[in-house]
Amino acid sequence: MTPPAPSTTTAAGPRLVEGRGELSGAVRDALESGGPPEYATGSVLKADPWGEDLQLALHLLYELHYRGFEGVDGEREWDPDLLRLRQTLETRFLHALRTELSDGPRSVDEAFAPLLVEPVDLSDSLSHHLATEGELWQLREYAALRSVYHLKEADPHVWVVPRLTGRAKAAMVAIEYDEFGAGRADRIHARLFADLMADLDLDPAYGHYLDHAPAPLLATVNLMSLFGLHRALRGALVGHFACVEVTSSPGSRRLAKAMRRCGAGPAAEHFYAEHVEADAVHEQVVRHEVIGGLLADEPGLEADIAFGCAATVLLEDRLAAHIREAWDQGRSALRRPLREAAPTGTPYGKGLHMAPVTS
């Protein structure tokens, strides 16, 4: 008796969102219909590499390698037409990053030295703003935005593990073991962030706020997938990972203070408090063992590690600037404002300008 073929349809993934232009619309329609993406020749070269259309198209294609989408056949992950389009979008994105960082750091010391010293002037720091004068509605927006990142944060980093050896591999796995809860499902960091969202009356479902997320946020998530899915970019992924770990502890301390000051709830505060101590330890391990071990094995990857770090800083700075600009102008930093369970007395009910963000 021949056993039935396994179902390849993804039922547990998030719902598909509407496209934001020709390319993302083509990807969305292709995933929904099961056919190839239809778009004009040359449209990728004309697309803004930082814009809504290209970044959403990339995100939809990358998501096929994670949880997929509700009702989309799991076999589409390796669809040749979708992979071909993804490659052209990645090339455009990567070229934009390298162009922007053409004068960027080439060594690990040059890339990381500025990150190891707390700036004297924190006026441009988003976490400082939230800790000192941020309001609860801003914390809710920030959490909704970052959910697209934090609910999958550790996942793309795992792809680098089989591409490492010796010290670098052992140290990377040790840090990831902590990220995934050290064997306890309730302590997985993505789960802790979902608990934070529940404290803030936000929907913790994976991918729920994708349609709210503007291009600067999608770019930070796409960067992880771009580096993670390509063995040739393993050095850049290590640089990205190290940058996150090095910068996490000070920012987490400020965000824990922000959650406490605004009465966001114990789970909301705990997520960031957990990262203050854990990432201070991770910082040392990633610098000395992951980076040190990788450079001992493959010294030629130093420029790639520096690039991964610099690209992370670039995109995080772009995102912070986007959020601060929106808030300073009295409007939502999201493409669509939050509606569910808005706390009483927030600017959502006081005439705050809610024009959609289109970058």
**What is d(CA 114, CA 110) in angstroms, rounded to the nearest whole number?**
8
CA 15/CA 52 separation, integer angstroms: 18
Mean predicted confidence (pLDDT) in 123-133:
90
Query: What are the CB-based long-range contacts (under 8 Å, 24+) for 156-162?
Result: 156/224, 156/225, 156/227, 156/228, 156/229, 156/237, 157/224, 157/228, 157/237, 157/241, 158/228, 159/228, 159/229, 159/237, 160/228, 160/234, 160/237, 160/238, 160/241
Report angle CA 149, 151, 156 to the nearest 5 degrees: 70
Distances in Å between the Cα of 117 and the Cα atoms of 114, 247, 357 are 6, 10, 34
pLDDT of residue 5: 53
Please determine, for residue 279, whether its predicted confidence score (pLDDT) is greater than 80.
no
- Residues 349-357 have a mean pLDDT of 34
Distance (Å, whole) CA 117 – CA 120 = 9
Average pLDDT over every residue of 246-267? 92
Q: pTM of the full predicted structure?
A: 0.90
Handedness of CA 112, 118, 120, 123 (dihedral sign): positive
Distance from CA of residue 292 to its chain's centroid? Answer: 25
Q: How far apart are CA 84 and CA 89, in angstroms?
A: 9
DSSP character for 15? P
Task: Determine whether 102 is exposed, middle or buried from the number of CB atoms within 10 Å of its CB (0-12, 13-18, 19+).
Answer: exposed
Helix axes 266-285, 166-179, angle to 10 degrees: 170
Six-digit token pair at 257? 């203070």
Q: Walk me through the domains of the chain, giving residue ranges and CATH numbers.
A: 9-100 (no CATH), 108-349 (1.20.910.10)
List residues bridging with 9 in a β-sheet: 73
Q: Which amino acid is at 26?
A: A
Contacts of residue 60, Cβ cutoff 8 Å, sequence gap at least 6: 16, 17, 24, 27, 28, 31, 69
Sequence letter at residue 165: T
Evaluate if residue 3 carries a pLDDT over 60.
no
Fill in the DSSP letter of residue 211.
G
How crowded is residue 195: how many other Cβ atoms within 10 Å of its Cβ?
17
pLDDT at 41 (0 to 100): 85
Whether the predicted pLDDT of 87 surpasses 70 = yes
pLDDT for position 210: 97
pLDDT digits (tens, 9 = 90+) for 104-127: 999 999 999 999 887 767 778 899
Average pLDDT of the segment spanning 221-239 = 98
Quick: pLDDT tens for 186-228: 999 999 999 999 999 999 999 999 999 999 999 999 999 999 9
Q: Are 55 and 86 in contact (CB under 8 A)?
A: no
Can you tell me the mean pLDDT for 40-67? 96
* Amino acid at residue number 119: P
- Residue range 337-345: average pLDDT? 61
pLDDT band at 356 (very low <50, low <70, confident <90, very high): very low
Residue 174 φ/ψ region, left for φ over 0, alpha for ψ in the -120 to 50 degree band, beta for the rest:
alpha
Q: Is the pLDDT of residue 7 over 70?
A: no
Is the pLDDT at 347 greater than 70, yes or no? no
Q: Residue 165 half-sphere exposure, CB side, CA atoms within 13 Å? A: 4
